[in-house]
Amino acid sequence: MGLTFTSVGFILFLGICLGLIHAVGRHPVRICLMIIFSFFFCLTFGFAGALAVTFTAIVNFFVGNRLGASDNDAVRKRWLWAGLTANLVPLVFLKYSGFLLGILATLFRPLGAHFSDPSSLMFPVIGLSYFTFAGMSYVLDIYWEKMEPSRNFSEFLCYLVYFPKLVAGPIVRACDFLPQLGKGFKITAQDFEIGLGYLLVGAAKKLVIADQLASHVSTIMASPEHYNAWTLLQGMIGYTVQIYADFSGYSDMAIGCARLMGVRFPQNFRMPYSSMNIAEFWRRWHITMSSWFRDYVFMPLELAGRSVPNANVRASRNIIITMLLCGLWHGPSWNFVMWGGLHGVGLAVYQFYKSLRLSRMQQPKRSPFHPGMLVSRALTISFVMICWVFFGTQTLSAAFGYLWRMVTWSTDGVSLGSPYILPLAALMLLAHLFINKDRNLVEGLPMYSPPVRVLTYASLLLALACLVPADAVPFVYVRF
């Protein structure tokens, strides 16, 4: 389905795109070429996505200019709500209509009401959540006067449909992207090396790690009732590694593609499994999404709820609401809602703990390998792994059954051994423990001597040549 970053077709597509974009000198022509290539990429996933992103671009460009042209608060507020509605209605209808109809069918079934099959209303549009959120952030930033509206429709259309970020992010904001287009596409030899480095690292994460785990993990997650507790524990660990390697690999490749065209994307992952607490985890996991929900959901809720006297109670309530919406953003499933709700409760509990701890004497700074820090890391990653069970299974009953069989250490069922899960999990653990979690190795690699760089790139290419599985596995986050 469509051009994927790890396919041979995409490599050819990217090569042609880079060759033409860097061959022409005129800025408007480059913008047009990027739009053409982006729409071609989008159309490989179906016509509906191209139509939806075009509609989103036209609506948000028009609303943004109306917001920028008016000084009347009432008028600006009406345009704001019109813009948000125009963004959310297609999202809700195309992605959540079947889910909502299923809820209504459950509620009204005792009264004798009947509804058609909810699945018949599901209308998948590739990248819908991502470009919808990009459009909403643009409208809100103009309303809050954080940026001026774009006056160039081709540049704004390029921002929304830009193919490296179209399918699964990162969620790049207009205030970061549009100024780069205005300055032109300037790429240095270092940018080119860093872009290729991101592509190699991302491909290695996806193909060498995530795809090696995918077959065993998906088998376990699909029918947990058939496996014993030891196998289920391996499945939980394997899914934890797989989803990180898969999604951070996608983000690295998206960042690399953009960098090769002279566009810089924000980082999306910074060693999240090394976090000391759940709040730090969300500062390091899917950073562009978590910051989006913080700025456009949590903060407005905080401002609207200033009348609540207890700041901890208010913040905890708003955190839980935000994370429930974050879970639902991933898809129309109660599993995602539960996943978001658990993280919301975890963040709220940490909020209370943090307020109590700050009221005491300031704790001295400790080494990351201090026993207390290691325990904090273990508790955080354990909570995250438990939550991933809800993310990776298909139904709530399957998720609860999965966890119950682990808690009771059920010995009945099949024992499925995997030669990849535990070694790759150990490799991931060591990397998160010993690599500086605030240092980006790809960005810093051009600073090393040529032999070190050549050896690093050659090792990545050798791993890709020798360890890539025969069957291609779709990126996990493409379906969101």
Asked if 179 and 235 sit in the same domain, the reply is no
Asked if 385 and 263 sit in the same domain, the reply is yes
Q: Residues 6 or more apart from 386 whose CB is under 8 A from it?
A: 236, 342, 403
pLDDT above 80 (res 368): no
Q: Do the domain assignments include residue 18?
A: yes
* Cβ atoms of 116 and 67 closer than 8 Å: no
Q: Do the domain assignments include residue 383?
A: yes
Q: d(Cα 229, Cα 76) in Å, to the nearest integer?
A: 57
Structure tokens, 468: 């890539």
Q: For residue range 259-272, list pLDDT tens digits in order.
A: 999 899 999 999 99
Q: What percent of the chain has pLDDT over 70?
A: 92
Q: Which residue in this structure is represented by tokens 């872009």?
A: 195
Asked if 127 and 272 sit in the same domain, the reply is no
Q: d(Cα 376, Cα 430) in Å, to the nearest integer?
A: 16
Asked if 179 and 220 sit in the same domain, the reply is no
Asked if 469 and 419 sit in the same domain, the reply is yes
Q: d(Cα 286, Cα 420) in Å, to the nearest integer?
A: 25
Of the residues 186, 207, 232, the one at which a domain ends: 186
* Cβ atoms of 355 and 315 closer than 8 Å: no
Asked if 157 and 257 sit in the same domain, the reply is no
* Cβ atoms of 59 and 83 closer than 8 Å: yes
Mean pLDDT taken over the chain = 87
In the chain, the amino acid numbered 300 is: P
Asked if 418 and 379 sit in the same domain, the reply is yes
Asked if 261 and 352 sit in the same domain, the reply is yes
Asked if 95 and 116 sit in the same domain, the reply is yes
Q: What is the number of residues in the chain?
A: 480
Asked if 252 and 182 sit in the same domain, the reply is no
Asked if 97 and 197 sit in the same domain, the reply is no
Reference 164, options 17, 32, 61; nearest CA is: 17
Range of the domain at 155: 8-186
Asked if 354 and 385 sit in the same domain, the reply is yes
Q: For residue range 225-256, list pLDDT tens digits in order.
A: 999 999 999 999 999 999 999 999 999 999 99
Q: Do the domain assignments include residue 417?
A: yes
Which helix (H) or strand (E) segment holds residue 343: the answer is helix 334-358
pLDDT above 90 (res 446): no
Burial of 367 (0-12, 13-18, 19+ CB in 10 A): exposed
Q: What is the pLDDT of residue 249?
A: 94
Q: Which residue in this structure is represented by tokens 């090394």?
A: 274
Q: For residue range 337-354, list pLDDT tens digits in order.
A: 999 999 999 999 998 888
pTM above threshold 0.75: yes
Q: Do the domain assignments include residue 413?
A: yes
Reference 182, options 28, 60, 25; nearest CA is: 28
